Amino acid sequence: MNIIRIPALTTNYIWLLYNYRNECIIIDPGETIQILNILNKFKFKLRAILLTHNHSDHVNGVDTLIQYFPKTTVYGPMETKNSGAKILVSEGDYFTLLQKKFTVLNLSGHTLGHIGFYSEPWLFCGDTVFSAGCGKIYDGTIRHMYESFIKIKNLPHNTLIFSGHEYTLSNLKFATFVLPQDQFITNYYKKIIKLRENNQPTVPTTIKLELTINPFFRCNHLDIKKSLNLSPDIKEEWQIFYELRKKKDSF
Ligand SMILES: [Zn+2]
C-alpha cells in the first residue's frame, strides 16, 4: 500500500492510499479538484472515503466524489452523518479495506465526535495531533483532548502520524517559547524553517519524534511549568495540558 499526500485549501492535507490494483481510499476530502486529477491520472478506483470529523475543510469534497463514484463507501463518526457518512463508526470498530485492517479510535477533543483511523503502522488523526502541536478545542473538551493524546502516546512509537494540516512551523515557534532550553527542538525548528521556505512538507511525523518535540506530549516538563507560570495548585498533567492549550490560543 502506498500513500499520496494531497495539499488542499490553504493548510490541509488530504491522504490517498492505494494498492497494487490501483484501488484507493481517501481520508478527509475537503475539496475535490486535485483528487479528481489524481484519480484520473493514475486510473485509481475509489473504494472508500474515511472522515475523521465534521469540519467543512475535511468533508466538503464527499458529495462530488460520490457523484463521480457512486459505489464508494463513506465511513465516519456520527457527527458526519449529514456530510455523507453511510457507515457510522466509533471506538473499537474495525473493518478491512484494500486488504488492510483499520481500527477506529475515539479521538474526541477538537470536536466532540472526532475519531482516528489506525492501520499499523499508520494513524490518520485528523485535527487531533499536529507535528509539534495540538488541535484547537471546538465543541470537544480539553479533558477529552488530553485523553486522546494519552491514547496516541500508547500506540507503538514507530507509528506514523498523518495529520490534517501543515502547522509545524508555527507550532515549533510556540514549542521553543515554552521549552527554550531544549536544543533538540531549537535545531529541529531551524530544519523546519528551511523545509518550509522550500515549500516542503513536514508531515507525516512519528510518535517517537512527537514525544521529543511536541510540548503537549511533555506537559510535566519543568521548563513548561515555569514558562506557564503555573500556580502550585496545578499538579495534574491534564491541568497543565489545559494551561498549555490556553497559552497557545493567545500566543
Ligand atoms: Zn477541524
Using the mean position of ligand 1's atoms as its centre, give its distance from the Cα of residue 205 in Å: 19
Using the mean position of ligand 1's atoms as its centre, give its distance from the Cα of residue 114 in Å: 9
What is the predicted pLDDT for the residue at 194? 98
Using the mean position of ligand 1's atoms as its centre, give its distance from the Cα of residue 92 in Å: 22
What is the predicted pLDDT for the residue at 133? 98
Query: Whole-angstrom Cα distance, residue 195 to residue 172?
Result: 13
20 has a pLDDT exceeding 90: yes
What is the predicted pLDDT for the residue at 225? 87
Using the mean position of ligand 1's atoms as its centre, give its distance from the Cα of residue 57 in Å: 7
**Beta-carbon neighbour count of residue 163 at 10 Å?**
26
pLDDT tens-digit series, residues 123-175: 999 999 999 999 999 999 999 999 999 999 999 999 999 999 999 999 999 99
Round the average pLDDT of the chain to a whole number and report it: 96
Using the mean position of ligand 1's atoms as its centre, give its distance from the Cα of residue 53 in Å: 7
Please report which confidence band the pLDDT of residue 220 belongs to, taking 50, 70 and 90 as the band edges.
Answer: confident
Mean pLDDT, residues 76-101? 98
Distances 74 to 92, 105, 108, 112, 218 between C-alpha atoms, Å: 18, 17, 20, 20, 35
Beta bridge partners of 24: 18, 46
pLDDT tens-digit series, residues 162-197: 999 999 999 999 999 999 999 999 999 999 999 999
235 has a pLDDT exceeding 90: no
Instruction: Judge whether 227 and 178 are in contact, CB under 8 Å.
Output: yes
Q: Which domains does the chain have, with CATH numbers?
A: 2-163 (3.60.15.10), 170-202+215-249 (no CATH)
Using the mean position of ligand 1's atoms as its centre, give its distance from the Cα of residue 4 in Å: 20
